[in-house]
Every structure is written in structure tokens, then in C-alpha cells.
Amino acid sequence: MSLLAKFQAQLPTAAKRLLIAFSGGLDSTALLALCYQLRCQRPAITLRAIHIHHGLSSNADAWTQHCQELCQQWQIPLIIERLALATTGNIEATARDARYRAIKQHWQSDELLLTAHHLQDQSETFLLALKRGSGILGLSAMQTQNTLYGMPLCRPLLAFSRSELEHFILSEKLHWIEDESNQDSSYERNFLRNEILPQLRQRWRHIDQAISRSAKHCLESQLLIEELLEEDFHRHCPAQANVFHLNAFKTYSIARQRALLRLWLSRLGQSMPGQKQLDALLENVINAQKDSNPQWQLGELIVRRYQNNLYLTPQFTDLCNYSAELNIGHSLELPDNLGLLESHKQQDGILFRWGSQQLLLPLTRQAIFIRFGHPGRLRYQPNRPRETFKKLCQAAAIPPWQRGRLPQIYYGETLQGILGLCQAFE
């Protein structure tokens, strides 16, 4: 089987639009060349490439120019995204996260993202997972196809050795760039690549293939666990993916509880927490007192508990000091990704619309302001006693962290209504 045929066999047959992560190095140059050759055979395939300029090397501009020249030669549209990364902390993890977030901004929903990870990369990923004490999910390392940052991802070179790719590139008389940081063994992956794995390969010639087999065995075991847990999982996550119901959860063994939580976080595309982190989640959130609303930080997200449910949410901005004027008939982009609030003048009042929520309020000549926070006590029906904002939100089953994010409509300094909750009366 030719290299191109072997490569094509790794791609989903339905893939017609490919977005290629192209650094200009040997691996991604081989990937770009194989995609170009595939397009020559199958003209219906559409290719785009994206190059991330990390700004960490004095050679980064030259690398970008190299990528531009090759893409122009093959008539492959190239996106160049420039990043400004902090040079402190875990640079490897920071750069990886920023890289995929940048790619996500340009990815189109009908595209398949291709990356150039190969057999030796799989060995490094496996050993890094082993160093972290990962379970079988982490030890399954990289899959040929999966979803990452909400994008369908394919690694069609995962079965190829680096020497195969180098032989192919040389036979095609192509050039590639060398990132000098790859020689810096202070980075964990480079330490394995430069110091450890060469010795292992010298002692055991087929160590990369053996590691790849072990990763596949771990993946099969993980898939079997997920299959056996599927009925339980759907009992706890029947609808909203980011909500996990805790009914009868405490009747399970600790091992089953951990497995279900890992499955939930995995389905949400989150990195796997370690056992200590999972145990902290079980003890401090799931097993916390019933009348509390505990939370637990997972990377940049928060796991929260409310009314016997777990929720995975972002870290929200405090909006208590926000105030913006809204002109009738206009729209307002709300802060912190809360979306668009619209206002429409009608014969019988002003219709305010926010997503699926709407509220019809009387016409006014006063200035209209949109604010957030906790307004205290308010009257939600005429001639009824005032109720606390907290009690009204509890009756409407609105979680505590969402209450301060409901848009409040003021005419002058008088509260008129809260979208998603009620109208307010004097």
C-alpha cells in the first residue's frame, strides 16, 4: 500500500472539507503534502491551512513566510493567527490551549481539523500520562478521531513513524523548518523525546509500536466501561449535557461514582481530573450539607451543586456595578456573554426580549436602564405583599449563580421587571 493510500484510509470517508494545522515542521509539512496529493486525486476536497505564530521564537516570522510560500505554491488558502503568550508558568500547556482556541475561531462547522501527530508523539503522550498517574482513559493517549474544543479532529498520521514521514518529505524534495525549542529538554515532552525514548528504542526496537498497542488496549477497556455505564449515565444526564442529576447517586460504590463523573466530564470535553480531585468533588460538593450550594473549580470552569443536581458552568463576572441605557426600539449587547437584549415599541407597551424570555412593560418617557444584582424585596403581582428576590428565584428554580445575571429593567431609578423572572409593581 502506498503512503498516500495508507493516509487516505485513516480519513473519514465523508470528509470533504479539511482544515490543516500547519506549523511548517517536518510532520505538518508531510500532512500538508499528503492532503495536496489527495486533492489532486479527489478535486471535490476543499483544503485550508492554519498557521499559529506563537511569538516565542525570533525565527517565528521566517517560519510564517515559509508556510505562506508553500501554501501559495499548492494554492491552499492559509490563515495566519498571531498569539501573545505569557512566558511564565507551564508554557507547553498555555501554548497548546491558546493554539486550539485560536484554531476554533477560524474553524467552520463542516470542516474536519487535521493535526500531524505521529507514532512517536503517541509514545510521548502515553508516557506523560503514565507520569501523571492517569487511569485507562489518559493512558489511551491520542485517538485517530475524536472531538477537541468542540471541533471534530483527525490525526491521520498516528500510525506513521517519523522516519516514514521524513523519507516521504525527502523523496518529494520538500523543506521544513526546525523549531530550536524542540532541543530544550527542560520541557517535559522534549525530555522524553531527546533523553528517554532514544534509549528505550535502542534497547527495544519496537517500543513505539508496543506503546501504541497498549494505548489501544486502554481505549478498548475505556469504551467497554462507558458501554456498561451507558444506562446509568443516561439516568443521571437525560437531557442537558452540563447538568448531572444526583438521584440515587450515593447508593453506588465509590469506583462507580468516580467512573460516572469521569464519563460526564469526558462527554463535556473536559480534561480528566485526578483521583484526589475527584475525591474532593465527592466530599466537598456532592456530599456537602443539603442546604448549602457548594462549588468546585475545574480548570477555568466551576462544578456547582443546586437542588440535587451538578452543573458545569464558566466562572462568571460580577455584574453588580453594570448599568447601561437602552433606547426604545434598539438592542443592547449584554456583558459576560449574556447575549442580546431587544426592545420593541408596541401599541400597549414595550416588549423586551432576551433569548426565549420576554416581558411586556408599560410605555414610558423616562430613561430605561439595564442593571444586574439582587434587588431585595419586590412585588411581583398588584395588591400582593412584597417577596424577597431570593424567594422568588427559589420558587422559579433559578440557581443562585444565575440570579445576579438576570437583566433588570429600570425606568429611571424604579425597577419595572426582571427578564426570566417577573414584572415588578409599586
Residue 31 has pLDDT above 70, yes or no: yes
**pLDDT at residue 87, as a whole number:** 66
Tell me which of 88 and 338 has the higher pLDDT.
338
Tell me which of 134 and 370 has the higher pLDDT.
370
Domain finish residue from 270, 290, 314? 314
Sequence-distant (6+) residues with CB within 8 A of 312 are 242, 244, 265, 268, 270, 298, 301, 302, 303, 304
What share of the chain in percent tops pLDDT 90?
Answer: 70
Same domain, residue pair 102 and 30: yes
> Can you read off the three cell numbers belonging to residue 53?
505564530
Q: Angle 254-267/207-236 helices, nearest 10 degrees? A: 100
Residue 221 belongs to some domain of the structure: no
- Does the pTM exceed 0.95? no
55 among annotated binding-site residues: no
Question: Average pLDDT, stretch 138-161?
Answer: 92
Strands 46-53 and 112-114: unpaired
Same domain, residue pair 384 and 283: no
Same domain, residue pair 306 and 327: no
Residue 89 has pLDDT above 70, yes or no: no
Cβ pair 42, 131 in contact under 8 A: no
Same domain, residue pair 164 and 294: no
185 among annotated binding-site residues: no
Nearest to 46 by CA among 113, 111, 116: 111
**pLDDT at residue 46, as a whole number:** 96
Same domain, residue pair 181 and 115: yes
Residue 227 has pLDDT above 70, yes or no: yes
Assign residue 149 a region: left if phi > 0, alpha if psi is -120 to 50, beta otherwise? left
Same domain, residue pair 101 and 198: yes
Q: What is the pLDDT of residues 5-20, one digit of tens each?
A: 999 999 998 889 999 9
**pLDDT at residue 354, as a whole number:** 95
Range in 338-352, 374-388, 392-406 the model is least confident about:
374-388
26 among annotated binding-site residues: yes
23 among annotated binding-site residues: yes
Same domain, residue pair 333 and 417: yes
Same domain, residue pair 75 and 197: yes
**pLDDT at residue 349, as a whole number:** 93
**CATH number, domain with residue 301:** 1.20.59.20
Question: Average pLDDT, stretch 155-169?
Answer: 95
Same domain, residue pair 206 and 251: no
**pLDDT at residue 32, as a whole number:** 97
**pLDDT at residue 93, as a whole number:** 79
**Which residues span the domain enclosing 68?**
3-7+14-214
**pLDDT at residue 321, as a whole number:** 92
**pLDDT at residue 160, as a whole number:** 95
Question: Average pLDDT, stretch 263-275?
Answer: 83
Cα–Cα distance, 148 to 126 (Å, whole number): 18
b/e map 76-91, b = 16+ CB within 10 Å: bebbebebeeeeeeeb
**pLDDT at residue 96, as a whole number:** 85
Name the pLDDT band for 382 (thresholds 50, 70, 90).
confident
Name the pLDDT band for 159 (thresholds 50, 70, 90).
very high
Torsion 29-35-39-45 (CA) sign? negative
Residues composing the chain: 426
Question: Average pLDDT, stretch 312-339?
Answer: 93
Same domain, residue pair 250 and 205: no
89 among annotated binding-site residues: no
Considering its fold, how many domains does the chain have in total? Answer: 3
Q: What is the pLDDT of residues 397-413, one digit of tens each?
A: 899 999 999 999 999 99
28 among annotated binding-site residues: yes
Q: What is the pLDDT of residues 97-147, one digit of tens each?
A: 889 999 999 999 999 999 999 999 999 999 999 998 888 888 999 999 998
268 alpha carbon, distance to own chain's centre:
8
